[in-house]
Amino acid sequence: MQADLGIRARIMAPVRAGGSPGSVIAAFSTRKAVRLGILWGYIFGLAIASSEITYSRIYKTAAQRDALAATYGTSKAMSALFGPAPQLQTVSGFTVFKISMALMILGAVWGLLTSTRLLRGEEDSGRWDLLLCGRTTRGGATAQVIAGLGGGLVTLWAITAIIAVLSGHTSNVGISTGSSLYFSVAMVATAAMFLAVGAVTSQLGATRRQAASFGAVFLGVSYGVRLIADAGVGLHGLIWASPLGWVEELQPLTSPQPLALLPIVAFTAMLAVVAVRVAGARDAGASIVADRDHSPAHLGLLYGPSGLAVRLLRATVIGWWIAIGVSAFLYGLIAKSTGATISGSMKQVFSKLGASGTGAAEVFGLCFLIEAILIGFVAAGQVTAARVEESEGTLDNFMVRPVSRSTWLGGRLVVALVVLVLSGIAAGVLGWLGAASQHTGLSFTSLLGAGINLVPPAIVILGIGVLTFGVLPRATSIVVYTVLGWSLLIVIVGGFGTVSHWILDTSVFHHMASAPGLSPNWEANGIMIGIGVAAALVGGLAFMRRDLQGS
């Protein structure tokens, strides 16, 4: 109630101050989106700068650079995972290869989270009803939020570009201002498209979670399609069927092809128009994938907090399982053919990234790093969902009845653990199915083991999340996603050598053996599980002792 009043005051203030009542929502959304744009702009810019500067420091001579190009540049597996690598002898080519795929995916995730939060999230919280009050139409309000999101996007680009230009001008790097600006455009292009995707899925889904999940499935499919296109199996034309493919075709820093901006701009604009149209045509609070207003009672799971959590999170979790399963299946399909292309010197580079073994198993080891990251997101989502129960006050319904805090939290964690283990099993089993269909010769047990091997890092994230939830509940989501984002960044940067092992050790993914190429390191896994459990215990005890806190 107090929060509502605060927002009401903030929203009303500009109106009273003589601002146009029509632009209140735009101002409100712009402020939020710009704040997020600044934060992520720094991350993008720093990733670019660190890549450019490290390369020029490590690979000084032409011979070193040629060797690098010979190993990475010809690998179909690397091309499938990270995109093609045409000019590895140059800082530019290396940077594009090394970080563009990661930034593209991060940008897409940023876009989805930001737009679903400001559209479906705000609408769900009821704040929109407050704002609308006849001042503007629903379509108009959506258009205003989209304008605000545009502001956030420009901020993201501007900060990324400033850092990229500065880094490009440092000695040894030598990338022109124009190239850096164009590269920055390419790096925020997925953010633009997925802001628009999120705007549309916000109209489709009934909750923010559902809207974000729809968008995530679309992202997974886009990545899968471009992975096949780049896998060197004669299907390169497919690249034009994937929004991520269009960004790849921009070919920044190597051989720029600005025409590829056309589909990107057209796609973004089209989705924005669709979102505004659909929003204008539907009722407040309603959604297209309609939740009917009436429904017969389904009491099956409704025995307590854990059963309810299963029921409420079911759709989202199944979405993640589909993304994990489908991508593992795709890796299975390409593992044999790409594994065959790995040359002797390539193996050294692979081992730097943590992978080992021969052929297909090595490819799997690398690909499963991406699965581990996805499962990390699932873990982060589980803790965040628990915190949301508290901040939105639905937890109070249990806490004023005969349910102890430990029962509630324990139950939620058991649900989360089961979800994580099943995610790992899904990756292993579907990866095996894909591999078996190509007669790759990897055993079911080794891939199942590799799948389960993905779970311990997620348990660490879960544990850190519960610790934060207990001690500093309002920071829960920021902390878990920061840990995840940091770990991801370290994996990407660290894969290319010369990062102090102290820094590498801070990444939860660094401690996971790259199975099935290597056999899972059960000792390290045990330590990770121990850390996760200990953190969760401390967090649980702190939770027992504190006040319940709203948002």
Partner 1 sequence: MSDPDTALRTDGLTKRFGDVVALDHLDLEVARGDVVGYLGPNGAGKTTTIRLLLGLSRPTEGRAEIFGLDCQRQPVETHRRLAFVAGEANLWPSLTGAETLALLGRVHGQVDVAYRDELIERFDLDPTKKVRAYSKGNHQKVILIAALMARPDLLILDEPTSGLDPLMEQAFRHCVHEARDRGQTVFLSSHMMSEVEALCDRVGILRDGKLVEMGTLAEMRHLSALTVEARFDGQVPDLSVVPGVSAVQADGSLVRCQVRGSVKSLVKVLAAARVTELVSREPSLEELFLAQYGEDGHAG
Our CB check for partner 1 shows the closer of 31 and 311 to be: 311
133 is a contact residue toward partner 1 (CB under 8 A): no
Our CB check for partner 1 shows the closer of 301 and 537 to be: 301
What span, in angstroms and rounded, lies between the C-alpha atoms of 176 and 184?
12
Among 59, 218, 398, 509, binds partner 1 (CB under 8 A): 398
124 is a contact residue toward partner 1 (CB under 8 A): yes
What span, in angstroms and rounded, lies between the C-alpha atoms of 416 and 170?
46
Stretch that binds partner 1, among 95-103, 376-384, 398-406, 447-455 (CB under 8 A): 398-406
Q: How far is the CB of 7 from partner 1 (least distance, A)?
A: 15
For residues 374 and 320, is the Cβ–Cβ distance under 8 A? yes
DSSP tag of 21: G
Stretch that binds partner 1, among 197-205, 329-337, 368-376, 394-402 (CB under 8 A): 394-402
Stretch that binds partner 1, among 32-40, 96-104, 289-297, 492-500 (CB under 8 A): 289-297
545 is a contact residue toward partner 1 (CB under 8 A): yes
523 is a contact residue toward partner 1 (CB under 8 A): no
Residue located via tokens 């121990």: 530
For residues 208 and 121, is the Cβ–Cβ distance under 8 A? yes
Alpha-carbon torsion angle 190, 205, 125, 119, nearest 10: 30
Strand ranges (E), 389-473: none
DSSP tag of 298: -
Our CB check for partner 1 shows the closer of 168 and 305 to be: 305
For residues 112 and 198, is the Cβ–Cβ distance under 8 A? yes
403 is a contact residue toward partner 1 (CB under 8 A): yes
Residue located via tokens 């964690």: 413
In angstroms, the Cα distances linking 307 to 134, 300, 407 are 40, 9, 12
Among 237, 259, 294, 439, binds partner 1 (CB under 8 A): 294
134 is a contact residue toward partner 1 (CB under 8 A): no
Stretch that binds partner 1, among 58-66, 239-247, 363-371, 400-408 (CB under 8 A): 400-408
392 is a contact residue toward partner 1 (CB under 8 A): yes
Binding map of partner 1 across residues 207-246, x = CB under 8 A, - = no contact:
x---------------------------------------
Cβ-proximal residues to 329 (8 Å cutoff; 6+ apart), any chain: 430, 431, 433, 434
Q: How far is the CB of 201 from partner 1 (least distance, A)?
A: 17
Q: Is 133 left (phi over 0), alpha (psi -120 to 50) or beta?
A: left
Among 304, 410, 449, 485, binds partner 1 (CB under 8 A): 304
293 is a contact residue toward partner 1 (CB under 8 A): yes
Q: What are phi and psi of 173, to 5 degrees?
A: -85, -65
536 is a contact residue toward partner 1 (CB under 8 A): no
295 is a contact residue toward partner 1 (CB under 8 A): yes
Q: How many CB atoms lie under 10 A from the CB of residue 292? A: 5
- The tokens for 203 are 């109209």
Residue 438 buriedness (CB in 10 A; 0-12 / 13-18 / 19+): middle
DSSP per-residue string spanning 30-93: HHHHHHHHHHHHHHHHHHHHHHHHHHHHH--SHHHHHHHHHHHTT-HHHHHHH-----TTSHHH
1 is a contact residue toward partner 1 (CB under 8 A): yes
Residue in 404, 380, 429, 341 with CA at minimum distance from that of residue 544: 404
Our CB check for partner 1 shows the closer of 1 and 62 to be: 1
Helices assigned H by DSSP within 83-126: 91-116, 122-124
404 is a contact residue toward partner 1 (CB under 8 A): yes
Among 401, 501, 502, 523, binds partner 1 (CB under 8 A): 401
Site for partner 1 in 308-327 (CB under 8 A): 308, 312
Stretch that binds partner 1, among 20-28, 154-162, 447-455, 541-549 (CB under 8 A): 541-549
Site for partner 1 in 249-278 (CB under 8 A): none
Stretch that binds partner 1, among 64-72, 223-231, 291-299, 425-433 (CB under 8 A): 291-299
Binding map of partner 1 across residues 150-189, x = CB under 8 A, - = no contact:
----------------------------------------
Count of residues touching partner 1 (by CB under 8 A): 36
266 in helix, strand or coil? helix
Cβ-proximal residues to 24 (8 Å cutoff; 6+ apart), any chain: 11, 14, 15, 131, 135
Q: Which residues bind partner 1 (CB under 8 A)?
A: 1, 124, 206-207, 285, 291-299, 302-305, 308, 312, 392-394, 396-404, 545-548
